[in-house]
Amino acid sequence: MTKSEFDIVVIGGGSGGLVVAAGAAHLGARVALVEKKALGGDCLFTGCVPSKALIRSARFAADLRRAADFGFAPAHFEFNNGSFASVTDRIRRVIETVGEHDAPEVFRALSIDVIIGTPRFTSPRELEVTPIEGSEEKYAGAQMLRSKRFCISTGSRPAIPPVEGLKEAGFITNEEVFTLKKLPSSLLVLGGGPIGLELSQSFARFGSEVTIVEMGDRLLPKEDEESSNAIERILRAEGLKVLLNAKAVRAGQANDHKTLTVEENGEIRELHAEEILVATGRKPNVEGLNLEVAGVQYDKQRIVTDEYLRSSAPHIFAAGDVTGHFEAGDRRRFNRRRSRWRTHPRNRTGNERAPSRHDPRQHDSRLPDTHAGQPEGGVGCGAVEARFVQETSFLLLPLVAVARRQRPVRRKATSLSALLIE
């Protein structure tokens, strides 16, 4: 077995791992990057990139329907060659183009040792990597990587709710939806979070009959209520059906369609559709890593990390979805922490400095938090988080009422949050 020594070994070559590996290499560290499939991860293959490409096609279709509004003769669209595959073929081409930036050669050129294989800890400082059968790896056998530090960034995968019969009836998730060759004539979407909504709106714009089934009492439950209500209104106006307080209890198959029994506000209802899309949250990829041997604590939602992204083993860090900070959740959690900091009596007397942008702790408050449907966006603290801050008032304005360069008016309040809804 080959043995090598590194300053840091990064496990998982998705958005998180690639940034950590490249950053460490730029600082002069000896870096190994271990990936079990292909560099690029969820974002490149089954997340941000394909979904934004899908949304772009869907937006084009929606705009075409409004041709007359923009001064063109009314138009209607047909898929190229009459097949939805023309849309997913474009998605594949976009992935290939963007994927050039994530190619192994790009990272090898930074002196990073890119290793495709299946890793498992054999001790807190040793990782054994077994080559994947059939891969064109230059390493023939297993390798032992010894390192001062590790970063686990193995990402997440769809969490499937325990709905009776769902597995047997069949369903798709973000892992299959971007390769569909045929547009489902009707689609039941489980989950009214950001992923469920952007996919729902896109498929409705392509012509699917879409019903969103959300267990909570509003869409985008992590957002401010005003945003949820606005999104719901827009989706309904575009022809989507939205069921709230609706829990899926049973799925089945009848002839050429699928059935879903939901309990909506205490009443049982049966829904029918050609396909079911599940977007009900994510779970961390921790299986097979032998984290117990490394002393890394984890639970069903995440690898447990502190605010420096350090795990329970001080030399092992975790970054990205595997820490349970899935997308928008990140920024909101940080804002809440920051808000709590502000309201702490000691901090209000100025004895301690606020978290600054030079603070190495994980903070995401300056990240725009985008929901990629239409409307999209959200930057900074929203009303939900601002509840943690005293003396806050809100100014709610429709976006059209905000002239460019105009600043929100500050009145009495120590902090003002403007929630802009298109």
Ligand X SMILES: Cc1cc2nc3c(=O)[nH]c(=O)nc-3n(C[C@H](O)[C@H](O)[C@H](O)COP(=O)(O)OP(=O)(O)OC[C@H]3O[C@@H](n4cnc5c(N)ncnc54)[C@H](O)[C@@H]3O)c2cc1C
Which range binds ligand X by CB under 6 A, 43-51, 244-252, 351-359, 405-413? 43-51
CB atoms within 10 A of CB 113: 19
Shortest Å, Cβ 110 to ligand X: 17
Binds ligand X by CB under 6 A, chosen from 57, 154, 200, 335: 154
Instruction: Give the HSE-up count for residue 111: Cα atoms under 13 Å, Cβ half-sphere.
Output: 12
Among 17, 8, 10, residue whose Cα is nearest residue 42 = 17
Residue 153 or 365 having the CB closest to ligand X: 153
Cα→Cα distances 355→142, 334, 361, Å: 44, 10, 8
Asked if 36 touches ligand X (CB under 6 A), the answer is: yes
Asked if 289 touches ligand X (CB under 6 A), the answer is: yes
| Angle, alpha carbons 233-221-178 (nearest 5°) | 75
Q: What is the full DSSP assignment across 42-109?
A: HHHHTSHHHHHHHHHHHHHHHHHHTGGGGTS-------GGG-THHHHHHHHHHHHHHHGGG-HHHHHT
Interatomic CA distance for residues 420 and 225, integer angstroms: 12
Asked if 369 touches ligand X (CB under 6 A), the answer is: no
Binds ligand X by CB under 6 A, chosen from 8, 9, 32, 51: 51
Which range binds ligand X by CB under 6 A, 6-14, 93-101, 249-257, 307-315? 6-14
Binds ligand X by CB under 6 A, chosen from 10, 15, 188, 242: 15
Using CB under 6 A as the binding rule, the residues of this chain from 174 to 213 that contact ligand X are: 174, 195
Which range binds ligand X by CB under 6 A, 148-156, 344-352, 387-395, 410-418? 148-156
Binds ligand X by CB under 6 A, chosen from 9, 32, 35, 298: 35
Binds ligand X by CB under 6 A, chosen from 22, 29, 48, 61: 48
The whole-angstrom distance between residue 318's C-alpha and the CA centroid of its chain comes to 17
Which range binds ligand X by CB under 6 A, 85-93, 303-311, 318-326, 382-390? 318-326
Shortest Å, Cβ 403 to ligand X: 29
* Token pair 């976009």: residue: 94
Interatomic CA distance for residues 190 and 55, integer angstroms: 19
Using CB under 6 A as the binding rule, the residues of this chain from 156 to 175 that contact ligand X are: 174
* Residue 26 CB-density burial (10 A; 0-12 exposed, 13-18 middle, 19+ buried): exposed
CB 164 within 8 A of CB 248: no
Residue 153 or 335 having the CB closest to ligand X: 153
- Residues near ligand X, by CB under 6 A: 11-17, 34-37, 41-43, 47-48, 51-52, 119, 153-155, 174, 195, 285, 288-289, 320-322, 327, 372
